Structure 1
Amino acid sequence: MPISSKRVLAAGVAVVAAGAGLSGCRSSGAENVDDSAHPSMTIMVGGIDKVIYLPAKLAENLGYFKDSGVDVTLKTEPAGAEAENLLIANKVDGVVGFYDHSVTLQAAGKCVESVVQLAKVPGEAEVVSNDADISGPSDFDGKKLGVTSPGSSTDYLTQYLATKNGVDTSDYTTVTAGAGSDFIAAMQNDGIDAGMTTDPTIAQVEKQGLGKVLLDMRTEEGTKEALGGLYPAASLYMDCDYVEQNPETVQKVATAFVKTLQWISTHSPAQIAAEMPEDYNGGDPALYEQSIKDSMPSFTDDGVMPEGGPETVLDVLGTFNPDVEEKKDDIDLSKTYTTQFVENAG
C-alpha cells in the first residue's frame, strides 16, 4: 500500500526542510570536478551521529579524505528519505544512506548507484516498549510503530516485516519518531509501541529500561532470520551521471572509505570511539562504546557489495512497494551499485 494511504503521525518531531542549512552546499551537478586540481565533494549523511554511518565522520577525522586528495564536506540530515531528495535535487554530490534507495529510485526512473558498500546488514533493530503486548511482527496490528520518517529505510523494513507476517500496512499507525532523544521521548510518552532504530538509540532504550530488542538486524544471523538474506544497507551512493563524469574524484573518496573500513576492522570499539567527536557519546562514553561494539558486525571491511544482497533488497521492496513490485522484473540491479572503485582502492 502506498505510503500516502497509510496513517502517519508525528511524534513531536520537527520536520527539517530539505533546503535548510544548504545555502552554501551546491552540487557540482553536470560540472566535471575531476578537472580541478583540488576536487571537492559534498556528502549528505542520513544522521551523522548514528553508528551505522560512523565511517563517514571517522574517515574525515582520520584524515583519509585529505590523504586521498579530495576536499569533502559532510552535512547531516536526520532522515534518509530527505537526504535522497537532496541528491535528486542536485543539492549534494553523494549520500551516505541505505542502498535500498538505489532500487526504489530506479523504479521511479532515476539512476543512482552505491559506489562503496559500508554495511552488509541494516544495523538496525525493532525495539518494543515494555508496556506493549508485542512478541513478533504478527502483533503489529493496531499498534503505533516508530520509523525515522515515511519513505525512509526504517519505514521500508517495517512495512516488509508487517506484510511478511500477515499484517497489512494500513492496520498499524506509522509514527515519525526520528532517532536519539526524539525516539526515546516517543517511547517514554506512549507515542509508539515499538520502533525501528539504530545505535546508540538501541543501547539507550535498553539502558533506561524502556524496552527490549525484538528483532536484531545488526548481525548477519539476525538479518537472515528476519529478512531471509543479507540486506546491504549503509552505503555511499551517487547519481550515475556524476559517477560517470567524475571517476577520479569518486575514486579518491572511495579509497578513503575503504581505508576507513579496514581501520575499523582492526581496531577496538574504544579506539574507534576515541576518534569520534566527544558529543556523539551523549555523555555516556561506555554506552557509546557498547553501541559501536554491537554494530561492528554490520560493516564490510572492503566496501564490496555482499553476494546476493541486492536480490534480497529487491525481494523485500517488491513485497509491499507497488512501484517496485510493478517493475520488479525490469529492474537492473547491476545499475544500482558498482564495485569498480572499491576494487581499485588497494
Structure 2
Amino acid sequence: MRRRMPSAVALLPALALLAACQSSGGKASGGDASGPTRVTVAHVPSTLFAPLYLAQAKGYFKEQGLDVDLRKVQAGQDAVPLAGTGKVDAVVAGFSAGLFNGMAQGLKVKVVASMGASTGARPSPTALEVAKRVLDSGEVKNTTDLKGRKVAVAGGAGAAGGYQLAATLRGAGLTLKDVTVVNVAIPDMRSALADGGVDAALAPAPFTTAMEEADVAEPLAVPPRGTSATGVVFGTAFAGKPAADKFLTALRKGAADLQGGGATSEETVGVLAKATGQKAEVLRKTPPYQWDPRLAPDTGQLDAQKQAYRDAGLLR
C-alpha cells in the first residue's frame, strides 16, 4: 500500500518546531556541570498528558536537574521523526500507524512510557458520539448500525483515534473497514455532525460535552477500560543518557499525584487549564483518564494497536 506523503500544510507545525530547534543550537539536550540539562519535548496539548504538565508545574523536572522545554505541535506523528534525528529529545503524543511503519524501517526512536487510558465508564473522557438526526430517525439504534456510515476521527484511521475507534467498534463485531473513516479536526466535529458530513465522531472531552449540550449528538459507546494509544517516545540517542532516566522519574512523580482523587483536584485542574488552554470550569466537568503510576508501556495495547492498523491495511 502506497503511503500518502504529508502535505506542505500538514508539515508546517513540525517544520516550525525544527526551525526552533535549529535556532537554539540544533541539538535538543545539553547542559554542563554548572547548570541543568536541557531536554526538549514536543507535545500535543491534551489532558491525556497530565503527568507531563504536573511534573513541569510542580518542579519535579527541576528536582532532577532538568530544564524541560515544552514545545506544542498539532500532530505528534509529524514530530516523531524529529526525535529520531535528535532535533527533539522526546515526543509526548498519540501513537500512529506512521510511528510503527517508521520504526520498522529503522526510525531511531523508542516507546518508553504510557500516558492516559480510557476508564471504560460513563461518562467517559472519550466517546463515540452519534448525530441526533440519525438517532431520532431510528436509522442508528446501536453501534452495529454504524456499519457503512461515515465516522469522524482526527488524523484519520491511521492516527491514535483510529485505534480508539477500532477498540470501540470491536464490541459490536465491527472493524475500521466496516465504516468510512473521515479525517476531521476535533473542533470541527460538532459542525460535521450537525450538517450531515458524518454520522458519528470519536471525540474527546470537553468537545463531547459541547456536542451533547448543543443537542447535536449523544454518546453511543465508549472505548473499553484500559484502551490507550498515547505515550512517550524518545529518540534512541537521548534514551541512552542519564537525563532520560531522570525525565521518566519526574514523569512518574507527576503520575503518582493523579492517583485517587488527584486527577480532579483544584491544583490539577489549574495546571491542566494553563497547559491545554481550556477553561477550568469546563475541565471540572470533564471525566478524567486513568494513569499507571509507573507509566509502564502497555505492550498488550501496543500489539492490539498494531493489529488494528494491520487489519485496516495501514501497516507495511
TM-score normalised to the size of structure 1? Answer: 0.71
Q: Structure 1 residue 52 and structure 2 residue 39: aligned?
A: no
The aligned counterpart of 2:297 is 305
Correspondence 1:40-189 to 2 at 5 A? 40-46=38-44, 48=45, 50-88=46-84, 90-99=86-95, 103-121=100-118, 124-132=126-134, 133-150=139-156, 151-158=158-165, 165-166=173-174, 169=177, 172-179=179-186, 181-189=187-195
Contact 1:146-1:192 within 8 A present in 2 as well:
yes
Correspondence 1:161-310 to 2 at 5 A? 165-166=173-174, 169=177, 172-179=179-186, 181-217=187-223, 222-223=224-225, 230-244=226-240, 246=241, 248-266=242-260, 267=262, 269-271=264-266, 272-278=268-274, 280=276, 282-283=278-279, 285-291=280-286, 294-296=287-289, 298-306=290-298, 308-310=300-302
- Kindly provide the amino acid, as one letter, of the partner of residue 304 in structure 1: A
Contact 1:42-1:74 within 8 A present in 2 as well:
yes
- Kindly provide the amino acid, as one letter, of the partner of residue 64 in structure 2: S
The change in CA–CA distance for 1:231 and 1:105 in structure 2 (over 3 A counts) is farther
The change in CA–CA distance for 1:198 and 1:257 in structure 2 (over 3 A counts) is same
- Kindly provide the amino acid, as one letter, of the partner of residue 70 in structure 1: L
> In the aligned structure 1, how far is the partner of 2:296 from the partner of 2:220?
29
The aligned counterpart of 2:311 is 319
Compute the displacement of 1:211 (Å).
1.3
**CA displacement, residues 277-314 of structure 1 (integer Å, 9 cap, x when unaligned):** 4584744x3331121xx223x32122123473333334
Question: Which SS does the other structure have where 1:299 is aligned?
Answer: coil
Contact 2:40-2:71 within 8 A present in 1 as well:
yes
The change in CA–CA distance for 1:310 and 1:141 in structure 2 (over 3 A counts) is closer
**CA displacement, residues 108-160 of structure 1 (integer Å, 9 cap, x when unaligned):** 33342222222344963222121234445543444322111133111344457
- Kindly provide the amino acid, as one letter, of the partner of residue 309 in structure 2: L
**CA displacement, residues 225-278 of structure 1 (integer Å, 9 cap, x when unaligned):** xxxxx444331111223312x2x1111211111010001114251421023345
Equivalent residue pairs, number: 295
The change in CA–CA distance for 1:320 and 1:205 in structure 2 (over 3 A counts) is same
The aligned counterpart of 2:122 is none
Question: Which SS does the other structure have where 2:222 is aligned?
Answer: strand
The change in CA–CA distance for 1:238 and 1:29 in structure 2 (over 3 A counts) is farther
Contact 1:116-1:257 within 8 A present in 2 as well:
no
Contact 1:79-1:152 within 8 A present in 2 as well:
no
> In the aligned structure 2, how far is the partner of 1:106 from the partner of 1:141?
32
> In the aligned structure 1, how far is the partner of 2:302 from the partner of 2:87?
27
5+ residue gaps, structure 1: 5-13, 224-229, 325-346
Contact 2:166-2:308 within 8 A present in 1 as well:
no
Contact 2:264-2:284 within 8 A present in 1 as well:
yes
